[in-house]
Chains A and B, each alone.
Chain A
Amino acid sequence: MSSHSNPSTAATPLDLSKWRSLPTRLMLVGGILSLIGLLVPSYREQFSFSWLVSFMFFLSLCLGGWFMVLVHHLFDASWSVPIRRVTENLACQVRWMAVLFVPIALFAPRMYPWMELSANHTPDHALHAKGALLNIPTFYLASIFCFAVWWYYTTKLRFWSLEQDRTGSAECTNRMRMLAYFGVFAFAITLTLGVILWMKSLQHQWFSTMYGVYYFAGSVWLTIATVYVITLVLKRQGPLREVVQETQFYFLGSLLFAFTVFYAYIHFSQYFIIWNANIPEETFWYVLREKGSWWQIGLLIVFGHFFLPFLTLLRIDVKLSWLMIPLGVWAWLMHYVDLQFNIMPILHPDGFVLHWLDIGSFAFMAGFMARNFMKDFAAYPAYPQKDPRFAESMGVYVAPASKTPAAKVAGGAR
Chain B
Amino acid sequence: MSEVAIPPTLKIQAPPAELEREPLVLNERPPGWISDRITSVVEGKAPRWWWIGLSISVPLMVMLFCVLAYLISTGVGIYGNNQPIMWGWPIVNFVWWIGIGHAGTLISAILFLLRQKWRTAVNRAAEAMTIFAVMCAGIFPLIHIGRAWLGWWLFPIPNANSIWPQFRSPLMWDVFAVSTYFTVSLLFWYVGLVPDLAVMRDRSKTKIRKFLYGLFALGWTGSNRHWSNYEKAYLILAGLSTPLVLSVHSIVSLDFAVSQLPGWHTTIFPPYFVAGAVFSGFGMVLTLLIPLRRLCNLEEVITVRHIELMCKVTLAVGSIVGYAYGMEVFIAWYSGSPYEKFAFWNRAFGPYWWGYWTMIICNVVVPQFFWSKKVRTNMLVVWVLSIFVNIGMWFERFEIVITSLSREFLPSNWGYFIPTIWDILTFLGTFGLFFTLFLLFLRFLPMIAISEVKGVTPQADPHHPLGGAKPGGHH
Contact = CB atoms under 8 A, between A and B. Distances in A.
A320 B450 CA distance: 32
Interface in A251-308: 254, 261, 265-266, 269-270, 272-274, 276-277, 279, 281
A399 B23 CA distance: 12
A400 B333 CA distance: 54
Contacts of B316: 74
B463 A277 contact: no
A396 B15 contact: no
Contacts of B461: 397, 414
B13 interface: yes
B20 A414 contact: no
Contacts of B257: 273, 277
Interface string B1-34: 1111111011011111111110000000000000
A227 B2 CA distance: 21
B14 A414 contact: no
A75 B327 CA distance: 25
A144 interface: no
A149 interface: no
B166 interface: no
A397 to B, nearest CB: 4
B258 interface: yes
Contacts of B19: 170, 173, 388
A310 B266 CA distance: 27
Contacts of B20: 400-402
Nearest to B5: A8
B465 to A, nearest CB: 7
Given A279-B260, A413-B4, A399 B14 contact: yes
Interface stretch (A21-29, A31-39, A128-136): A128-136
Interface in B114-135: 114
A181 B316 CA distance: 11
A333 B133 CA distance: 44
Interface in A206-230: 207-213
Interface in A143-202: 168-170, 173, 181, 184-185, 188, 192, 196
Contact of B5 (A6, A75, A129, A196): A6
B323 interface: yes
A1 B312 CA distance: 33
A277 B260 contact: yes
Contact of B12 (A75, A173, A265, A396): A396
Contacts of A74: 312, 316
B3 to A, nearest CB: 5
Interface in A354-412: 386, 388-392, 394-402, 404, 407, 409-412
A170 B327 CA distance: 37
A130 B265 contact: no
Contacts of A207: 331, 334-336
A210 B320 CA distance: 12
Given A254-B113, A412-B469, 18 more contacts: A7-B7, A129-B333, A170-B19, A207-B334, A210-B267, A213-B271, A277-B257, A386-B13, A391-B14, A396-B12, A398-B12, A401-B20, A402-B20, A410-B471, A411-B462, A412-B6, A413-B4, A413-B475
Closest 9 CB pairs of A and B: A129-B336, A411-B463, A388-B15, A407-B14, A209-B268, A413-B4, A210-B267, A397-B463, A170-B16
